[in-house]
Amino acid sequence: MDAFFSGKAEEPAKGYGQKVSELRGYLGQSVLVERFTITQKTENAISVSSANVYYGINVSPFEPLDQLDSMLVSRRVGQILGNDLIVLIAGRFGILNSMGGTDIAIRSELLHSRELQKMAYIKAAMKQFSIKGDVILTDDLWKDEYYWQIVGQLYQNRDKLPPQRQFRALDEIVNLSSIPRTLLGSIPDEVFEMMADEKATVLYAVAEIAEAIYLREFASSIIKIGPRREEEYDAYIRNALDTIHLFQPVDLRSIPEKPRTVVPYIMREGEERSRITLTDSLSDIEGKLQKANEEPQPLFYADTINPLLRILAYIHEAETILGIEAKTAQSIIGRELNASSLRVDETQQRDIYSRLRESTREMAGLIHDLIIAPIKESIGYEKNENTP
């Protein structure tokens, strides 16, 4: 913990071995990766044990395709480093955001049920892409007193952390003392009492920072992967883990003049009409891809990438992982799918987009056949849907 709060800059690299050099090369060319920090931490970790990747996600009623982006990239990382992926489904963290008048016990049960649902989809995806690793839930952390000790230490040193963001309607949010102790696992008395009068939602960031430190110690996680917006939390953990930030996804109606950014692992009400879900049929996918703008668009804008380019990147990653030699990306856009080949002038980018727009039917079929259909088959989705 002292090292976490030291604030010292990362020591200059003493030279990267073949694996880390290859990893940095892949990440630098992936069109899904916006930025990354792979330092001597990862080099040192793989030299003595392992440098696992961890991916923390939340829950929602629908399961978006976009939540697989970090998993597809992590599988490629695993092919290079020979490491595991730890997926933390932290849905029950949501009780910390409970409002006054909420039946928190019922809310906790609902969030846990959604955790189990998401776990089924994530495990099916891991099976489809031969991803080594494990899926853990909120309870796996909260049942360990040591996790809560980390939370307590972070809370005591919160003045050393970056400022908290401003919360709306903070006065309506419950204090930690309003949450039944039975819902907080093995939180020690002294930790609960120390934070009891704090607004629970203020503790959300502390709880998320604690998960990174905990998983580093107990799951050998040295790299955290996730969307760009998580840099708010990742800034806290830079002394403990390396990070990979993926471009924040946008929905299929997004255009440069009106970016529609979304959270990859959460689908809010109404978004299912313009985002692909893990239960969509082929016709559903085709219809949604057709919602992409017909006019030529740039591939990169507003700190994100065009949604059709993102879909093609999923296909490219899936084909690579599965050992398929179809080279779909090259056949559609006439060039390699990497950062160097796509960082071209706007006229060329718009030409590439036009090719993508003309190939939506082909891409729909590939997304369905390579990713969605195997996942639905693995969890018995079609069978369950047809059961009276």
Does residue 275 share a domain with residue 233? Answer: no
Does residue 155 share a domain with residue 120? Answer: yes
User: Does a structural domain hold residue 232?
Assistant: yes
Does residue 241 share a domain with residue 280? Answer: no
Does residue 233 share a domain with residue 101? Answer: yes
User: Does a structural domain hold residue 5?
Assistant: no
Does residue 208 share a domain with residue 77? Answer: yes
d(Cα 265, Cα 64) in Å, to the nearest integer?
A: 6
Domain boundary among 204, 229, 246: 246
Q: 222: part of which helix (H) or strand (E)?
A: strand 221-227
Does residue 352 share a domain with residue 221? Answer: no
107-120 pLDDT per residue, tens: 999 999 999 999 99
Does residue 298 share a domain with residue 340? Answer: yes
User: Does a structural domain hold residue 10?
Assistant: no
User: Does a structural domain hold residue 259?
Assistant: no
- Looking at residue 233, its amino acid is Y
- pLDDT in the model for residue 387: 46
User: Does a structural domain hold residue 261?
Assistant: no
Does residue 106 share a domain with residue 72? Answer: yes
Does residue 332 share a domain with residue 188? Answer: no
- pLDDT in the model for residue 386: 54
- Looking at residue 332, its amino acid is I
Going through 21-162 in order, the beta strands assigned E by DSSP cover 33-37, 52-57, 85-89, 133-137
d(Cα 247, Cα 253) in Å, to the nearest integer?
A: 17
Does residue 313 share a domain with residue 277? Answer: yes
User: Does a structural domain hold residue 258?
Assistant: no
- pLDDT in the model for residue 117: 97
Q: What is the pTM of this model?
A: 0.93
Domain boundary among 197, 230, 246: 246
- pLDDT in the model for residue 16: 81
Assign residue 99 the CATH number of its domain.
3.40.50.620
| Parts of the chain with a pLDDT under 50 | 387-388
User: Does a structural domain hold residue 292?
Assistant: yes
End-to-end CA distance of the chain: 54
d(Cα 202, Cα 209) in Å, to the nearest integer?
A: 12
Question: What is the total count of domains within the chain?
Answer: 2
Does residue 185 share a domain with residue 311? Answer: no
Does residue 276 share a domain with residue 226? Answer: no
User: Does a structural domain hold residue 309?
Assistant: yes
| Domain ranges, residue 40 | 18-246
